[in-house]
Amino acid sequence: MANFSPEIFQLILNELKYDPYDGLEALLNLRLVSKTVNAITIPLFFSVLLVRDDLESARAVSFLQRCDESIRTAVREVVFEADNEEFALGAWKGGIAIAMSWRHGQGTTLKQSEALYAKERTALTNFFSRLSNFPNLRRLRFNFYSSYEEGPKKDPIAATCAATHFLRKQNALLEALAKNPPPPLTSLVMTNLIGVHDDVYHAEEFQVIFRTLKRLEISVLSNPHGDFVAEADESFQQCSDFWEFNLSDMVRNSTSLTSLTLGSDDCGAGLHIHLRDVFLPQLSELVLHNFILDPSWAESDLALLATRHKNTLSHLELHGCSVRCQQNDQRNVLRPWHAVFELFEAELSKLRRFVFLDDQGKEGFLQRGRFLYTVLPTAGRDPTTFVHYDGRVNGEELDLPAFKRLVANVELRLKAQAL
């Protein structure tokens, strides 16, 4: 090893770390070759810590927090990965949730499951309370469960089933961050965040975490089952408060962002996120999933969120977004799609990349020549559900030409920049 170039060896190790089968085992074995090899290998092996949603994983990564400095300083990213596949094996019988976790054993009673879940929550909370032991940690990702089981249930027993453990775990982990802040983060990703109001989002200690972020990505689960009955429903109010206050505060406090990604499920698209006063002076990338562009509610007009950052925004993506039709006159839209595209073309002079996909993740509008329009429910109906409007909208023949002009304009700017 004395005559072996460390740079060449580094390149070899870089290839090994991407081998999901033999690479990691080889890296571990190579650590035993010499101190030099060990010093090169540690940053590769421990740069990303994967924390699974079980007691064994939580205890294993907690052990690393007590290791020597060479290992703790190597950690750059922590990823919490909920076991969505395992939860999908669960079964509902007779309206009562029976925990069927392969990890906990089939047929586990609700009481036994909660005891196990409580131990997991405690172990995971302890780990996330000590992230400061990784002084070079810069990226944090939470991939929460993709199944929403909160809110009203017809069966009183099912209302207290193990599914609510997901919300308790989510809030416990966020509270751990608030009480014991991690090192200054540059990237925070939270997927499948359950959209239920909680006081942790208002805590100053929690809001501080967002002020150093360069990248923020949040996708929200609100209530895809459509259990809400009316706006007076307490569950609806909890969901509405999350969008109006909690989510807005997270974005508002992320004053150093260059990249913002927000996603909603079918419920959240019809709720209001208050971003009218939000200005992020360095924002260059904005990605929106499944939102309704509605100028009638200025507080949550996401098209204006984009144009408000016209001096810095160079990358804009809209995935599955739609334009709201007026409730009693669907044919006359306050701001149809062609007006949205014309607004972007006129205001976003720095735009160099524009991605627009429909609710199927495709460019289906090019084939059918029609963009998504949405009708929200009437009074007394579920206030969070909406349907795509299939009728004719006045001026819709202008939508596709306006879209093509915007895309052509963005491409011309990009080519001119490359010259």
Q: Are 83 and 53 in contact (CB under 8 A)?
A: yes
Calculate helix-pair angle for 165-179, 110-128, nearest 10 degrees: 20
Describe the chain by its helix, strand, coil percentages, rounded to 5: 40, 15, 40
Handedness of CA 157, 160, 164, 165 (dihedral sign): negative
* Over residues 366-386, mean pLDDT: 66
User: Pick from 42, 22, 20: which is nearest to 31 by CA?
Assistant: 42
* Over residues 141-148, mean pLDDT: 86
Q: Are 227 and 235 in contact (CB under 8 A)?
A: yes
Q: Who contacts 63 (Cβ-Cβ below 8 Å, separation ≥6)?
A: none
Q: How confident is the model at residue 161 (pLDDT cuts 50, 70, 90)?
A: very low
Kindly report the pTM of this predicted structure: 0.83
Quote the CA–CA distance of 339 and 406 in Å, as a whole number. 11
19 has a pLDDT exceeding 60: no
Q: Are 371 and 357 in contact (CB under 8 A)?
A: no
Q: How confident is the model at residue 26 (pLDDT cuts 50, 70, 90)?
A: low
239 has a pLDDT exceeding 70: yes
What are the sequence ranges of the domains in the chain?
A: 1-45, 48-194, 213-232+256-419
351 has a pLDDT exceeding 80: yes
What residue has token string 């984009």? 306
Tokens representing 12 are: 């070899």
324 φ/ψ angles, rounded to the nearest 5 degrees: -80, 135
What residue has token string 């062609």? 338
Cβ count within 10 A of residue 103: 15
Please give the mean pLDDT across all residues of the chain. 79
Give the pLDDT of residue 264: 85
The DSSP-derived string for 373-397 is EEEPPPTTS-TT--EE--S--TTGG
Question: Chain-centre distance of CA 257, in angstroms?
Answer: 15
